[in-house]
Amino acid sequence: MKKISIISLLSLVSLVGCSTTPEQCDPSNTNLGIMDKISCNYSGNYQTRIDQKKQILENEQRANQQFKEIYANIEKQKNDTTLSLKQKQAQQNKLKQDLMKLTNEIKEKAKDRDDLQKQLNDIQQQFKQVNQSNKSEIEKQVELEKLNIKLQKLQKALNI
């Protein structure tokens, strides 16, 4: 009789073990009965669930690492852009200084020539307008380059 009840119990446990899935074998599920818990333990469903959760965690860690790399690249590009902007501003400031120096030099040399003085005054007026405008730094730099070309022509006219 004991053998029959042990065999029946083992058959029941094996049948119950087949009836549970890894999704049902959630350790936080308090609604599972003792047989279900035994079934989850002996059928390997707890381990299967653990393996699935580990795989999900590894995937999320990989994704997190990729996001960190993307963020680092964005930060690097941002820093490079800031550096580039500072370099452009420094170039523009140097160009402004050079233009002012050249303007003063031409003004000194063209004291006696009214036609060159008029052109120089026009260039100075345009220079002020460029500096006071709301244009972008690149547009200002292009305008300053044009003024520089005009000043160089005046300089050639004066044979400086």
CA separation for the pair 131, 58 (Å, rounded) = 56
**Secondary structure (3-state) at 28:** coil
Q: Are 101 and 151 in contact (CB under 8 A)?
A: no
CA distance from start to end of the chain: 123
The predicted pLDDT at position 101 comes to 82
The predicted pLDDT at position 19 comes to 62
**b/e sequence 111-122, b meaning 16+ C-beta within 10 Å:** eeeeebeebbee
The predicted pLDDT at position 18 comes to 54
The predicted pLDDT at position 12 comes to 58
Which mean pLDDT values do the consecutive 10-residue runs of the chain (160 residues) have?
65 56 69 74 79 92 90 82 77 80 78 78 83 79 82 74
> Where exactly are the structural domains of the chain?
76-158
CA separation for the pair 109, 69 (Å, rounded) = 59
* pTM for this prediction: 0.45
**Closest by CA position to 22, among listed 43, 40, 45, 4:** 45
The predicted pLDDT at position 15 comes to 52
